Amino acid sequence: MIKLLKKLDKKLFFLIFICLGFIVAQVYLDLKVPDFMAEITQLVETNGSKMADIIKNGIYMVACALGSLVTAVIVGYIVSVIAATFSKKVRKDIFSNVESFSMNEIKKFSTSSLITRATNDVTQVQMFLAMGLQLLIKSPIMAVWAIVKILNKGLEWSLLTGGAIIFLVITIIIIMIIVLPRFKKVQKLIDNINGITRENLTGIRVVRAFNAEDYQENKFNRANNELAKTQIFNQTAMAFLMPVMNIVMYGLTLGIYFIGAYLLDAALMGDKITIFGNMIVFSSYAMQVVMSFIMLIMIFIMYPRAAVSAKRINEVLDEAPSILSGEYQENKNDIHGEIEFKNVTFKYQDAEKPMLNNISFKVEKGETLAIIGSTGSGKTTLIELIPRLMDATKGEVLVNGVNVKEYNLNYLHDLIGYVPQKAVMFSGSVNYNVSFGEAKAKITKDKIKEAVQVAQGQDFVEKMDKTYDAHIAQGGTNISGGQKQRLAIARAIARDPEIYIFDDSFSALDYKTDAKLRQELKKYTKDATNIIVAQRIGTIIHADKILVLEDGACVGFGTHQELMKNCKVYKEIALSQVTKEELENV
C-alpha cells in the first residue's frame, strides 16, 4: 500500500499536506462548536441572560459550523482530486506496463487476472484512499486533540472513558476476528454458487439429457444452505456491534453524569461550577474520542482488503517486460521474406521439459511452410517466436538474415502478418478492425475492401447493415466464428506483409471457403512467405515444406510426398483423416 502511495508525485503530496492543514482547522472548529453549544445552553438555562449574548454566541457557533463545513468541502475536494488522480495514474501505469509485456508475462498473470488488477483492484484501492485518507488523518488528530482537552478534567472520568474505549475496541476486534475469516468464506461460497449455476447453465443440455436436474438442484441447495448458514452466523455476530456501540456511547455519557453527581457532592463549593462545566465538556469530547476510535478501527478493517489489491497492483507494476525492442530497422541485406531457425529451444519458466527442442529450418521468399502436429506439440509456440511474442531460450530466430532480437519491434511486426488462433475482434467498425494498429503505409478504404475480398469476407460484410462501417461488438460476439477468422485474415492482408503466419486460422471455415480463401490468398501474395499451422491434411498437402512436430521436437521436414514415405507420425496423421486411395488420388 505504502509502496503504491509512493507512486504519487510531489504535487499530490503537497495537496495532502494542504489537506492536513485544513483537517487540523476542521478539527479545531469541530471541537470549538460544542464549547459554544454549552455556552448557549447555559445562557438559555440561566435566568436573566441577555438576548445579545445568545445571539452573539449563536453567531459564533454558526460561524464555526460554517467554517467547518467550508474546510470539509475543501478537504473533500482535495481528497477527491487526490483519489481520482491516484487511480488515474495507477490505472495508466498498469496499462502501459501491461502493453509492454510479452506473452510470457501475460501468461504468468493470466489475462483475466490482469484485467481484474487494472479495474477492480484499482477501484478498491481508490475507494480506500478516498475514505481512508480523510479518516486516517482526521481521526487521530480528533482523538488526540479531544483527549488533550479533557485530560486534566477528571481522573475518574478519564478512567471511565478509557475503560469504555478499551471495551469497545476489544468487542469490535473480537467480532471482527470471528467474522472476517468467515467473510472470506462467504466470498468463496458465493463463487461456489456462481460456479454451480454457471455449470448448470453452460451444461444445460447435458443436465437435461442425463435427467440430472435434481442432482444439480441438490448440489446448489447444499451450497446455498451453507452460504445462508455462514451468512446468518456472520450477521448474528455483527448484530452485536451496533447495540454494543450504542450502549458504550450512551452509557459513557450516563456514567460521566453519574460519577459527576458524586464528584459534585464531594467537591468544595468553589469548585462545583468548574466541575459541572468540566462534566458537560467531558461528556461531549469523550464522545468525540470514542467516535474517533471507532473510525480508526473501521480503517483497520477496511485496510486489509485494499492492501491485498495494492499488492496485486504492485506485482503488475514491478514486473519488467522481458522482451525489449532492438534498434535495427532497415534491410541492409536486401533479403525479403526469409525465415530461419537455428537450433531453437524454448522452455517456459519453471517448466521441466522444453516446449520446443532444438528446431532448425529455413524458409525462403515466397515459399509456404506448413506446421502440423498433435495438440500440445508446440506449433503455436514455434510461430510465436518469429514476431517475438516470446524469445527463444536457446538458439537464434532469423528474419531476413537478422536475429529477431536486434529488430526494432514495430519494424519487425510490420514485416509480418500474423493471424492468431483466436480471432480477436475489437468493438468498432469493420474498417476499424481490418485497419487496426499502425502500418508502414496508411491503410486506405480501398485496401480494406480488397483485403476483405481476398479473405472471402466480402459477401457477409456487404450483407451487413452498414457494410464496412457496420459495428462489431467487443470480442466479435455479433458475428460467427468463421466470419471473425476471415476478418482477422483480412487484417493481416491489408498490411501487405512480407511474411504471413496463420495459426490454425482456417479452422472455423468450412472446406470450401477454406480452399477458396487460400487460393485467392496465393494469387494475391505471390511473393510473400506463408507459414501455416493446421490440423487438416487437406490444408497443407500442397505446401512447399511441411514441418512435423511431436512433443516439441521436429520429427519430419519435407514435402507431403517425402513425408508420406519417411515420416511415420505424418503418415499416421494423414491416414487418420483420409483414406490411402484418396491420398493417392491427389
Partner 1 sequence: MSNEESAPRRHHGPTFEKAKNFKGTIKKLALSMRKFWPAIIISFLAAGIGAIMTIIAPNHLSDLTDELTKGLVPDTKTLQTISKKITANLSEENIQTLTMSLFDTKTILGNISLQSDFTESQKKALEEFRKNVNATNFMQEFSNLDDDLKLKILTDTTYQGVVIKAEDKLALLNMVNKNSFDILSLPTSIATVLLPEFTYDNILITSQNQIDFLGAFKDIKDLENEEVLFKAFDKLPSNIYDLVKPHIAFNIVKHITFIIALLYGINALLTFIENILVAHITVKYSRDLRENIAIKINKLPLKYFDKSKVGDTLSRVTNDVDTISQSMHQSFSTLVSALTLFIGSLLMMFVTNAIMAITAIASTLFGFVFMSIILSKSQKYFRARQKQLGNINGHIEEMFSGHDVVTLYNGEKLAAKKFDELNELVYVSEQKSHFLSGLMQPFMAFIGHFGYVCVCIVGAILTMNDVISFGVIVAFMMYIRLFTNPLSQLAQAMTSLQSAAAAGERVFEFLEQPEMADESKKTKVLRRADVKGEIIFDHVKFGYDEDKLIIKDFNAHIKPGQKIAIVGPTGAGKTTLVNLLMRFYEINSGDILIDGVSTKELTRDNIHKLFIMVLQDTWLFNGSIKENIRYNKDHVSDDAIKKACEVVGIDHYIQTLPKGINTNINESNSISSGQKQLLTIARGMIEDAPFLILDEATSNVDTRTEELVQKAMDKLTEGRTSFIIAHRLSTIKNADLILVMNEGNIIEQGNHHELMQKNGFYANLYNSQFESISE
91-120: which residues touch partner 1 (CB under 8 A)? 91-92, 95-96, 98-101, 103, 106, 109-116, 118-120
Candidates 400, 485, 514, 557; binder of partner 1 (CB under 8 A) is: 514
Residues 6+ apart with CB under 8 A from 29: 64, 65, 67, 68, 71
Site for partner 1 in 222-241 (CB under 8 A): 224-225, 227-228, 231-232, 235-236, 238-240
Check residue 460 for interaction with partner 1 (CB under 8 A): no
Site for partner 1 in 304-333 (CB under 8 A): none
Residues 142-161 touching partner 1, rule: CB under 8 A, are: none
How far apart are CB 477 and partner 1 at their closest, in Å?
Answer: 9
Q: Does 525 bind partner 1 (CB under 8 A)?
A: no
Residue 397: which H helix or E strand, with range?
strand 394-399
Interstrand relation of 529-533 and 499-503 (parallel, antiparallel or unpaired): parallel
Among 3, 123, 401, 459, binds partner 1 (CB under 8 A): 123
Shortest Cβ distance from residue 343 to partner 1 (Å)?
Answer: 25
Residue of 144, 156, 221, 466 that binds partner 1 (CB under 8 A)? 221
- Smallest gap from Cβ 301 to partner 1, in A, equals 17
Query: Residue 55 or residue 343: which is nearer to partner 1 going by CB?
Result: 55
For residue 141, the SS3 value is helix
Region 555-574 residues binding partner 1, contact defined as CB under 8 A = 572-573
In one letter, which amino acid is 91? R
Nearer to partner 1, 182 or 394 (CB): 182
Name 362's Cβ contacts closer than 8 Å, sequence gap at least 6. Answer: 338, 339, 340, 341
Distance of CA 291 to the CA centre of its chain: 35
- In whole angstroms, the minimum distance from the beta carbon of 464 to partner 1 comes to 16
Please report, for residues 62, 164, 467, the alpha-carbon distance to residue 247 in angstroms, rounded to integers and kept in the order given: 30, 10, 70
Q: Which of 208, 445, 568, 580 binds partner 1 (CB under 8 A)?
A: 208
Among 132, 378, 482, 556, binds partner 1 (CB under 8 A): 482
The residue range among 297-305, 326-334, 453-461, 534-542 that interacts with partner 1, by the rule CB under 8 A, is 534-542
Identify the residue among 289, 290, 521, 567 touching partner 1 (CB under 8 A). Answer: 521
Residue 190 vs 360, nearer CB to partner 1: 190
As measured in angstroms, the least distance from the Cβ of 543 to partner 1 is: 8
168's grid cell: 469497545
Decide: is 586 part of the binding site for partner 1 (CB under 8 A): yes
Q: What is the spatial distance between Cα 200 and Cα 220, in angstroms, rounded to a whole number?
A: 9
Smallest separation (angstroms) from partner 1 to the CB of 458: 18
Q: Is 131 exposed, middle or buried (0-12, 13-18, 19+ CB in 10 A)?
A: middle
CB nearer to partner 1: pick between 152 and 211: 211
Task: For the segment 248-277, give every residue that binds partner 1 (CB under 8 A).
Answer: 250-251, 253-254, 257-258, 260-261, 264-265, 268-270, 272-273, 276
Using CB under 8 A as the binding rule, whether residue 427 contacts partner 1 is answered as yes
CB of 293 to partner 1, least distance (A): 18
**Count, residues in the chain:** 586
- The per-residue DSSP string of 253-309 comes to HHHHHHHHHHHHHHS-HHHHHHHHHHHHHHHHHHHHHHHHHHHHHHHHHHHHHHHHH
Which listed range, 391-399, 449-457, 460-468, 516-524, lies at the site for partner 1 (CB under 8 A)?
Answer: 516-524
Helix residue ranges per DSSP H, 151-268: 155-202, 204-209, 213-239, 241-266
d(CA 240, CA 526): 78
Region of 1-9, 17-25, 163-171, 435-443 interacting with partner 1 (CB under 8 A): 435-443
CA 316 to chain centre: 10
List the one residue out of 347, 392, 316 whose CA is nearest residue 109: 316
Rounded CA-CA distance 207/204 in Å is: 5
Q: Considering beta carbons, is residue 59 or 144 the nearer one to partner 1?
A: 59
Smallest gap from residue 402 Cβ to partner 1 (A): 18
- Nearest to partner 1 of 394, 432 (CB atom): 432
| CA separation, residue 259 to residues 161, 270, 282, 429 (Å) | 12, 19, 12, 77
Q: Should residue 486 be labelled a site residue for partner 1 when binding is judged by CB under 8 A? A: no
Q: Could you tell me where the DSSP H helices lie in 358-425? A: 379-384, 409-415
Residue number with CB closer to partner 1 (3 or 184): 184
Exposed, middle or buried by CB within 10 Å (0-12, 13-18, 19+), for 429? middle
| Residue 279 makes contact with partner 1 by CB under 8 A | yes
Binding-residue total with partner 1 (CB under 8 A):
171
Question: Which residues in 52-91 contact partner 1 (CB under 8 A)?
Answer: 54-55, 58-59, 61-62, 64-66, 68-69, 72-73, 76-77, 79-81, 83-85, 87-88, 91
Q: Are 230 and 264 in contact, with CB atoms under 8 Å apart? A: no
CA distance 71 to 25: 7
- In angstroms, rounded to a whole number, what is the distance separating the alpha carbons of residues 370 and 529? 11
Question: Bridge partners of 373?
Answer: 549
Paired strand residues for 328: 407
Which amino acid is residue 403, in one-letter code? Answer: N
Q: Which of 346, 436, 443 is nearest to 397 (CA)?
A: 346
The smaller minimum CB distance to partner 1, of residues 192 and 357, is found at 192
Sites for partner 1 among residues 154-193 (CB under 8 A): 190-191, 193
- Smallest distance from partner 1 to CB 514, Å: 8
In 3-state terms, what secondary structure has residue 173? helix
> Please, which residue, 289 or 532, has the CB nearer to partner 1?
532
Residues of span 282-301 touching partner 1 by CB under 8 A: none
Q: Which of residues 337-376 bind partner 1 (CB under 8 A)?
A: 368, 374-376
State the nearest-atom distance from the C-beta of 10 to partner 1, in Å. 19
Nearer residue to partner 1 within complex by CB, 91 or 394: 91
Q: Which of 243, 1, 220, 240 is nearest to 126 (CA)?
A: 1
CB-based contacts of 236: which residues, under 8 Å, 6+ apart?
A: none
For partner 1, give the closer residue by CB, 211 or 334: 211
Give the CA radius of gyration of the chain.
36
Window 403 to 422, contacts with partner 1 (CB under 8 A): 409-410, 413-414, 416, 418, 420
